[in-house]
Structure 1
Amino acid sequence: MPEKDKLRIDKYLWAIRMFKTRTLAADAVKAGRVKLDGNNIKPSHEVKVGEVYLVSKGIERKIILVTGLLENRVDAKTAVNFYEDQTPVEDTYGYKSMFNAPVLKRDRGAGRPTKRDRREIDELQGGLFEDKE
């Protein structure tokens, strides 16, 4: 396994399989979706063993601790040996609960729901999509 003593953050995130391409990793770092101690960093930032990064990908947020430096991309089973996921369990699975919302389908050609149908749909969803102001 090739290890290095100096490594850029974009290359590291790509190597541990956080991002599919190095360009996507660099773009995420530039956009401020990768933070070190709450501060934005540049794609050329040198990764050091023991540093903790907050990585945001869409609605998913991960807290990773660097346990080793990896220069080249490897398989997923090997990649997990070079970082430790410190994301709390409630944060890890919390965003997935939104995908468990009931999916209501109407028959094709049934037209728009009437006011009565709309109220029944809202009641079934339990106010899931109502504005909370």
Structure 2
Amino acid sequence: MSSMRLDRWLWSSRQFKTRSLATDACKRNWVKVNDGPAKPSKPIRIGDVLNIQKGPLLKTVKVVELLDKRVSAVVAAKSFIDMTPEQEHELAKEKSKRINLGRSLPTAKGRPSKKQRRDLEEFLLKQQD
């Protein structure tokens, strides 16, 4: 096999959980082959460099092996070389922390109670002094 569909390789190498997710990523231009836009049906070959945008992480991989079907994670890891810089991983971790921080903040549940209002007024008066 000298080439195979991009979406099929992304799925079989476990870059995406399902083939339809891989297809959607290609259609949304989250996947680029050799720095060019890629459709799901684009044939890829050994040696091609893929840029895959997954959330805050821009992953760069080089195709080493073409896989016929979905294989175990250990075998799939041997089908590509991860060329993503370490800085990119750290940057993605920071971005995801910021995103998750906003989700963990408590949300207000209606009007403050009489006690909460008095505490707030007391706090604001102390801030003014």
Asked if these proteins are the same fold (TM beyond 0.5), I'd say yes
Count of aligned positions = 115
Structure 1 residue ranges without an equivalent (≥5): 121-133
Larger radius of gyration: 2
Q: State yes or no: 1:74 paired with 2:75.
A: no
Q: Which residue matches 1:36? A: 33
TM-score (norm 2): 0.75
Q: Which residue matches 2:47? A: 50
Structure 2 residue ranges without an equivalent (≥5): none
For the residues of structure 2 that align with 1:32 and 1:105, how far apart are their CA atoms?
35
TM-score (norm 1): 0.72
Question: Higher helix fraction: Structure 1 or Structure 2?
Answer: 2
SS of 2:44's partner is coil
Residue identity over aligned pairs, in percent, reads: 33
SS of 1:12's partner is helix
SS of 2:4's partner is coil
1:61 to 34, 58, 61: 58
Map 1:4-43 to 2 at 5 A: 4-43=1-40
Q: Which residue matches 2:92? A: 95
2:81 to 58, 81, 84: 84
**TM-aligned CA deviation for residue 39 of structure 1:** 1.6
**TM-aligned CA deviation for residue 105 of structure 1:** 5.9
Q: Deviations over 1:27-59 (max 9, x none)?
A: 110111101232211111111100101001121
For the residues of structure 2 that align with 1:63 and 1:87, how far apart are their CA atoms?
5
